[in-house]
Structure 1
Amino acid sequence: MPKRSRDSTIPRDTTAVSSLDLSKRDLTLDLARVFCVLLVVVIHLLFIGVGRDAEGALVISRPLEEQSWFDAATWVGQIMPLFFVVGGFASITAWRSNVRRGGTAADYVKTRVLRLAQPAFPLFLFYVVVISGATLLAIAPELVATVVVGAGAPLWFIAAYTLCQTLIPVMVRLHERFARRTVGVLLLGVVLVDAARYVFDVKQLGYLNMVFVWLLVQQVGFWYADGWFARRAWWQLVAIIGACYGGLWLLTAVGPYNTDMLDMLNPPTLPLVLLGLAQACALRLLRPALAKLMSTHAARAVVFLVGTRLMTIYLWHLPVIIILAGLALLIPGASPEPASPAWWWSRILVYLLVLGVLFALSLLVGRWEQPIEAGPTPPIWVDVVAAALTFAPTFLVIEYFLGLGLAIAGAACLGVAILLLGRWPQRWGSTRDVRAEHA
């Protein structure tokens, strides 16, 4: 059975919210993003149980994973594919808007990579300080490693989404010229990579599916944006959902895949593709109800408030949860025994507290979610280098986990990427940028 990993994390789609007029946006997709991020916070909150054993030693457990219904719940609760579907919709829309304005692939990639590298940069700096401080204070290395590995888990998404966003200009062009063939080739890639991984029992081979799985699910978002799902009758969408879950049952009952869909995340596998397609159909079926909800001022206000802070919520929620859990141990009665009835009920209050702390934190680090517009757009090869610098340390977190060395390397790589994209010298800027500045 594959090694379990708890990376069911999902942030906001970092494509430009402000680049599209509100009247032209599908607000149900903004609602879906917000729902997914808030659900991830709930899941991770229920995953982390901090208590003490009979001898008073600190014990970290996974109460949610211990439930008998856990695996079945992941068939619904694994919402990472839905994010890439929604991200695909937003990305192709933003790319076409960029093209209409005369923008280039370099313009697009610069903005998207910045919106991933910038929010991750202060988090890596935070880990450098925290891990260095824990080392100087001689805190138990095993405890520090356990906490940091868990807290750093969401960083894998930066790698996956950087890859997808960097390839948007290419993937949109393929979609517009060879839509079906592109899906077919990507699907074949997914199957071949999974086959090689399980036949040769080499987990590392599966990481090639960071390309095939997530690009394929992103393509589903392209089809959603082009109206393919809107043209399907409701019963057809239901039939597709049924077929996807039927295929999922077959893959887990007969095939090599785990019934825990969170375990299928890193490396990503074929079941995530089926989940992504089913979730796209479900999103379309729910669209009338979601649109009605988003017609209210209250829903729009909540989605706007949370939506402008989604990367902060995503990247920082695990450190906040862990810190609050540690502080609760210092307050008599504030830390019920994990998995006890009192612990389950206390999660409601703790969840609200976590969101409150994240909102306050967003006032400090939220500015890193805003793109840097200073300076001209660099050549496309510089964008690619910056994307690689953003991808590398966040990808390495998946395999080698977060430690002091990787935290330092990540902060350095992201810092260089931000400088390359945000402060590119004028003389190296694109001709279009130079002309625009002199206009």
Structure 2
Amino acid sequence: MAISPTSASKLARRDPYADFLRAFSLMVVILWHWCFTILIWGAKGPTATSPLGFTSGIWILTWLLQVLPVFFYIGAYVHLTAWQRAAARGDRIWHFALRQARELAVPSAALLGVWIVLGIIVGSVFNLDWMGRAVLMVVSPLWFVATYLFFVAMMPVTVWLHRRFDVLVLVWLGGLAVLVDILRFRYQVPYVEWINMVFVWGFAFQLGYFHRRISGLDQAPRSVPDGVPDWAYQPAKSRQQAWAMTFVGLFLLVGLVFSGLYPGSMVGVPGQGSNMAPPTVCILALTLFQIGVAELIRPFVLHRLASGGWFARSMGVLTRFALPLFLFHTTGMALSRAVEWSIFGLRIEGVEPTLTWWLLRPVSIVGPLLATLPVIYLFSRRRARPHRPDATRLAG
């Protein structure tokens, strides 16, 4: 399947679908936190829960909305493509990987440091025993950043494994993740489950190195004379492969969840087991399912992006600001909630979702967004420098 030359000419030189997937996956996480985080005040301070613990059956939505596997997958493809360009200029892969990791590590470390210092000062001055817990809740999404940074820094190793052993690396990562779950659930080996932070997320990241093979972009026709590929090209074999990945992942999820060994939700739910912290083999199945779905909708999304309408313009803005929004969205949410609580008190938010609570979910975005934008401005202003292309922006 291919788009017309006129539409193709409207697409950027870098892979627009890679940009879309990165921005979309981050925005889903942000909106989930803003809309569906329920904060409960108790004797020991605030604790967080979600409607998943109260509303039966909606955990099935997490099979589409827990999209971190997509971010790891497409992020690996973007970094690999950027490395291939850097290698043509003579860069060494260790230097490249550490430079890319530093681009994300510096603002993340700054954010963490500011909140730690703020927590110590505010907690000490006002004698707030719960301040440490509140700070931990705000910076908790950084676990994902730390894991992602690990795989970016380890690109010299993973790229070598990919070139030397190809798909066998995926087989080993998936198999080792299964063994870890056996040791965890069958033999209750303590702390062994955390090894799957490497095997499960490593599987999603390593799978991204196969993106061109999965999507069929290796065979896509290129324009003359600039050589830009038809990003929406999708041969019949790739589409069949996408359907196969979708159903294999779906059937694996159904089998694992309804075996009773794993919870149905792909995000953590208070009082239940978690498939995310640390990850289980359900996330492997989720990765296959979501990548299959992503490939099935790729031609449609690219047609929409090429049209130049509101969808394309909106995604252009989100692509630019998705990563800063992700880094600082919990800070903005904390500031927004602090203003609400100072005005209306701590008991304004009910524990169990009601019909009114559900109807107000779109409105719940406004406060955190308005509070996050100034934080992004302050940090980006401090770090402003001349633009240079790198893997945080380029793909294809």
Asked if these proteins are the same fold (TM beyond 0.5), I'd say yes
- Residue 17 of structure 2 corresponds to 28
Q: Are residues 168 and 86 of structure 1, via their aligned partners in 2, closer, same or farther at CA, if it must alter by over 3 Å?
A: same
Question: What is the CA–CA distance in structure 1 between the aligned matches of 2:49 and 2:260, rounded to whole Å?
Answer: 27
- Residue 47 of structure 1 corresponds to 36
Question: What is the CA–CA distance in structure 2 between the aligned matches of 1:368 and 1:182, rounded to whole Å?
Answer: 41
The residue type equivalent to 1:261 in the other structure is M
The match for 1:109 among 97, 106, 113 is 97
The residue type equivalent to 1:316 in the other structure is F
Q: CA deviation at 1:57?
A: 10
1:250-265 counterparts in 2 under 5 A? Answer: 250-254=255-259, 256-262=261-267, 263-265=274-276
Instruction: Assess if the C-alpha contact under 8 Å between 2:112 and 2:139 holds in 1.
Output: no
The match for 1:305 among 286, 303, 317 is 317
SS of match in other structure, 1:347: coil
Instruction: Assess if the C-alpha contact under 8 Å between 2:39 and 2:48 holds in 1.
Output: yes
Question: What is the CA–CA distance in structure 2 between the aligned matches of 1:24 and 1:228, rounded to whole Å?
Answer: 17
Q: CA deviation at 1:370?
A: 6.7
Instruction: Assess if the C-alpha contact under 8 Å between 2:249 and 2:287 holds in 1.
Output: no
Q: CA deviation at 1:165?
A: 0.6
Residues 1:314 and 2:357 are matched in the alignment = no
Question: What is the CA–CA distance in structure 2 between the aligned matches of 1:186 and 1:324, rounded to whole Å?
Answer: 41
- Aligned CA RMSD, in angstroms, stands at 2.9
The residue type equivalent to 1:153 in the other structure is S
Question: What is the CA–CA distance in structure 2 between the aligned matches of 1:116 and 1:368, rounded to whole Å?
Answer: 15
Instruction: Assess if the C-alpha contact under 8 Å between 1:92 and 1:225 holds in 2.
Output: no
Question: What is the CA–CA distance in structure 1 between the aligned matches of 2:140 and 2:26, rounded to whole Å?
Answer: 15
Instruction: Assess if the C-alpha contact under 8 Å between 2:46 and 2:133 holds in 1.
Output: no
Q: CA deviation at 1:160?
A: 0.9
Q: Are residues 51 and 117 of structure 1, via their aligned partners in 2, closer, same or farther at CA, if it must alter by over 3 Å?
A: closer
Q: Are residues 228 and 174 of structure 1, via their aligned partners in 2, closer, same or farther at CA, if it must alter by over 3 Å?
A: farther
1:278-357 counterparts in 2 under 5 A? Answer: 278-295=289-306, 296=308, 298-332=310-344, 335=348, 337=350, 339-357=353-371
The residue type equivalent to 1:146 in the other structure is R
Instruction: Assess if the C-alpha contact under 8 Å between 2:46 and 2:134 holds in 1.
Output: no
The match for 1:208 among 192, 195, 201 is 195
Q: Are residues 51 and 109 of structure 1, via their aligned partners in 2, closer, same or farther at CA, if it must alter by over 3 Å?
A: closer
1:26-48 C-alpha deviation (Å, 9 max, x unpaired): 21121122222221122112332
Q: Are residues 352 and 168 of structure 1, via their aligned partners in 2, closer, same or farther at CA, if it must alter by over 3 Å?
A: same
Q: Are residues 51 and 184 of structure 1, via their aligned partners in 2, closer, same or farther at CA, if it must alter by over 3 Å?
A: closer
- Residue 252 of structure 2 corresponds to 247
Question: What is the identity percentage for the equivalent residue pairs of Structure 1 and Structure 2?
Answer: 23
1:72-116 C-alpha deviation (Å, 9 max, x unpaired): 222222111111111121121111111111110132122112112
Instruction: Assess if the C-alpha contact under 8 Å between 2:35 and 2:365 holds in 1.
Output: no
1:118-142 C-alpha deviation (Å, 9 max, x unpaired): 111221222123211232233441x
Q: CA deviation at 1:156?
A: 0.6
Instruction: Assess if the C-alpha contact under 8 Å between 1:95 and 1:169 holds in 2.
Output: no
Question: What is the CA–CA distance in structure 1 between the aligned matches of 2:168 and 2:201, rounded to whole Å?
Answer: 16
1:303-354 C-alpha deviation (Å, 9 max, x unpaired): 3433333332112211221221231123349945452333333332230332
Q: Are residues 223 and 368 of structure 1, via their aligned partners in 2, closer, same or farther at CA, if it must alter by over 3 Å?
A: farther
Q: CA deviation at 1:359?
A: 2.3
The residue type equivalent to 1:172 in the other structure is V
The match for 1:275 among 274, 282, 286 is 286
Instruction: Assess if the C-alpha contact under 8 Å between 1:119 and 1:368 holds in 2.
Output: no
Q: Which moved more, 1:213-222 or 1:168-177?
A: 168-177
The match for 1:132 among 120, 123, 147 is 120
- Residue 239 of structure 2 corresponds to 234
1:410-438 C-alpha deviation (Å, 9 max, x unpaired): xxxxxxxxxxxxxxxxxxxxxxxxxxxxx
Instruction: Assess if the C-alpha contact under 8 Å between 2:305 and 2:311 holds in 1.
Output: yes
Instruction: Assess if the C-alpha contact under 8 Å between 1:209 and 1:269 holds in 2.
Output: yes
Residues 1:366 and 2:353 are matched in the alignment = no
Residues 1:187 and 2:187 are matched in the alignment = no
Question: What is the CA–CA distance in structure 1 between the aligned matches of 2:132 and 2:252, rounded to whole Å?
Answer: 38
Unaligned 5+ segments in structure 1 are 1-21, 375-439
Instruction: Assess if the C-alpha contact under 8 Å between 2:35 and 2:362 holds in 1.
Output: no
TM-score (norm 1): 0.72
SS of match in other structure, 2:342: coil
Residues 1:69 and 2:90 are matched in the alignment = no
Q: CA deviation at 1:59?
A: 6.2
Question: What is the CA–CA distance in structure 1 between the aligned matches of 2:26 and 2:249, rounded to whole Å?
Answer: 24
Instruction: Assess if the C-alpha contact under 8 Å between 2:23 and 2:323 holds in 1.
Output: no
Q: CA deviation at 1:272?
A: 0.9
Q: How many residues align?
A: 350
SS of match in other structure, 1:25: coil
Q: Are residues 23 and 329 of structure 1, via their aligned partners in 2, closer, same or farther at CA, if it must alter by over 3 Å?
A: closer
Q: CA deviation at 1:236?
A: 4.1
